[in-house]
Structure 1
Amino acid sequence: MSGADGHGAKRAVLYARVSTEEQAKKGYSLAQQLEALREYAAREGLEVLEEVSDAGQSGASLERPGMDRVRDLVADGGVSVVLAQDRDRFSREPAYAYLLRREFEEHGCKIRALNDRGDDSPEGQLTDGILDQLAKYERAKMAERTRRGKLRKAREGKIIGTHKAPYGFRYAEAAGIVLHDPEMAVLERIFRWAASGLGSRAIQGRLMREGIPSPSGKPGWSKTTVKRLVLSDTYRPHTHEEVSRLVSPEVAASLDPGGTYGVRWWNRSDQKGRQISEPDGRGGRRYRKRTSYVLRDPGEWVAVPVPTSPRLPAGLVERARVAMARNRAPERKNLARPWQLRGVLRCSCGSSMGTHTATRQNASGPKAYHYYRCNRNTSYMPHSCGQRMQRAENVEEAIWAFVAGMLSDPERVRAGFKRLAEQERAARRTRRSPDDEMKTWREKISECARMRAAYQDQQAAGLMTLAELSDKLAGIDETRRHSEAELDAGRASEDRARGIERDGEALLRSLSETTPEAIRALPSEERLGVYQRLSLEVSPAPEGYEVSGAFCAPERSRS
């Protein structure tokens, strides 16, 4: 076999992926996938260039460290084929699989899976595309059956087991769920503290100081967890009459008329999560999860009664809920001063740095001291950051002196804005031109239209029922909507990149009309705007500060 350059063996990249859920349920291990791929590569005489794995990564998105590495290897050239055990290892979304195939083809590389059915002909690609849609359809049907089964169980008043019982409860085979008194004792203290007027931060501190483990079993409590517990209907006693209005007559009849019950809600929201990546300012990328919640109509919510504890009487719970709901941080309408680096300064631990003002009594009276401090520095968690606070006046003057000096070099600023625009385009994680990527998504939308027509023809010929046609068209329409969303996202990304270029030109025109002395004397209120246009990011370093932005090299400049 010849390689990509016509000499020697073909070079292959082996790719394996497993999500946490798959690994737990199926034992679908990375090692097993890679072993199967090695055996296939050896049989076919392929030279393995690199083995790439994505552990605990969902196939619903292409934003994965391992997949980014594969795409970079292919873009660098010399890769003949990327191998995976199954087609859905590359992506569970057919539209993304189509994008990868077209992207790799431009570099002379093919995508292969050990369960491929088709070949490189148009007919073979159509076969694989239909199989991808069918696999997606089966997954959607299975998920829907599971969801309906759980909702039916919830409407019958039965407890739906999750990976961990709610705090203060334990799952029991006969009763479904029972009280766990040691944790209920902790909840009683939390509710009493809240009823006395303590906020979530103060309660968090007390729990930490007393060494009480959090619901996850870890030593650190979060403020969000404290507030969520106090406001949860699970711990609020409801009378039989109140619960009867929320559940079916059959469930209400099975409850004690003189008892009280908490309410555990199901089907309140539709939750979707995906992973995204973005430039980290150092020439690399950082990954984070983004979860969206869409609240369902209250008529779709399902209430499941749970037992209540005598430790949490209705009066105590109500006082705590009212106090916690009122205990909100005041809106910051009048800042203590113009903070030049607000939203720009980031701690070396990766967290953002907020603002802090301390007032101390001096001989001449009270004096305010202004600082930037890491947001993790204010937490009671054991992994709190140890970064020292930064005197605002010192860091602001140091950074502005550095930036003002850089602004005196227009060519460096122009090159920096060009690099920022390229980074914005690269955030789409494709080495192709924006026009080519848009063309790919338009082709995928057209393919969905062709497949839709083909299924309709099959139904007209009596090869499938209307119900089957409806289910299959729903999957195709979802892929079409997904492709249209990616097309819109690509256009938006290109618009942002062009906006960066326009901002650069506008800033350069402004600088050409301003003397270096005037730049250095720019009012503090206007400096933050300059930093934002430069996409500046500043981090404390052992010696000074690290600065990244439009005029800084990817390895970061130091001030």
Structure 2
Amino acid sequence: MIAALYIRVSTTDQAEKGYSLETQLSENRQKASELGATAFVEFIDDGYSGEYIDRPALTQLRDGLERREFDIVVIYDPDRLARNLAHQLIITDEIEKSGAKLLFVSVTFEASPEGKLFYSMRGAISAYEKEKIKERTTRGKKGKARQGKLVNNGRCFGYDYDKVNSMYIINEDQAAIIRQIFDLCIKDKMGTALISKELNREGIPAPRGNRWIVSSIHRILTNTAYRGVIYSMKHKSTKTGFNTRTIETRPESEWIPIKVPAIVDEITWHSAQKQLQSNKDLAKRNLKNDYLLNGLVCCARCGRKMTIKHSGNSNNPVSYYACLTQVSTSYMYLENDKCTARRIPAVILDELVWDKLHELAENPELIDQYAQDIGNPIATAKIKNTLVKLKDTEKKISTQKETIMRWFRQQIINGSDAEKQLDEINKQLIDIEVTTKRLNDELNFLTSQTSPADIAMNLNKYFKDTQYYSEEERKIAMRAVLDKVNVERIDTTYAKNSKPEFTIDLKFL
């Protein structure tokens, strides 16, 4: 008589119920021997959950059953076979169809209606216990998170983990790298590709000791931990097989915020998010018309933006920068407001400006002509007026915040409602703070003077070694040094192959 012995154990099973491999093997062999088995074939799934039917040893056993290789199948307990009742019934049916007999060590199984009912009930109870364990684990994690403790050590770069208090501690060496990444993004307006290139050039070690890559930079810049908050219960992970799982984002109302030491302030973090979005909007794959100066060119005649317009054969069109008044439908019926400036060939202007920036980088003494006062009274007054309005709005929202806190103390509203409203108000206040900082920076920019030394330093940084720049890196370099390009075509020729002439006024950051 040939006996198939199936043994399965997972780490939790061994810890909680003593279902060790040795125990199951010993008991299964003894049971098979008592029944007269003369040969044993062992199938062992070590470390596999009984929640899924796709297990290596179980698959081998089922293949053997299909070939009718066994007389009896011995298993220590029904939940060793499967935790899922449907899976138990499927495998039991396969055993019966092969002509083998199913036997358990811990319980008596009879192939009768009553025995099958009892077996089914055991399977249902096993599945219920599994769900209870999962629910109890999740409840424990939520309770820990609500106490302000980290549920586990996520090994977040920039922090060390305090096991005693379940909290992160800032690692100053790594935190300095994180602050540098935020500075490169915000102050130097670098994209993730250029930041990783700069860190690798400086020989700064990446989190795992290898070279920096774009995805690592993006994860750091978008990680809320660095502004002082980690959200527990944000994602729900569901296993769909032994090596597969799906991850879903829970509704925001279920997230539990945990305060951790901040490495950058709120304004810096939100400024980085805005810069990332700006970089994304200007990225090559997201631009319908991909030109170096797209978004920077302004009409020198009327001061409005210039945008791309195509002309000629659709298979080989010629692209131009055209004044917005000649392109936008907003000016369709406003003939008097349409600018008469001529269109600018896009490719020619892009290369002219690129070459000019290279020339200035190589010859910084030529920069003096661009170090001019860039004051703009109209724009300055507009920004100041906006700042006053923002201040008034901030006062009103702060009053709302105080009212909600008073209502909570008076028990007019419960803690959950108060927390939800306060979180929304705090987001608005942070947004106002970020906008105020940006407008103040613009105000300082409008009322200050760009020094030749600052321009030279910026040009030297981005235009000294551009030989291997990708097209996206060339665009980023342009936007890192230029605020705008005022241009007007001044030649009077209209022939197809005529050489255009321009007046170009570069405005530097």
- When normalised by structure 1's length, the TM-score is 0.44
**Structure ID, larger Rg:** 2
More helix by share: 2
Which structure is richer in relative contact order (CA contacts within 8 A, separation 6 or more)?
1
- When normalised by structure 2's length, the TM-score is 0.48
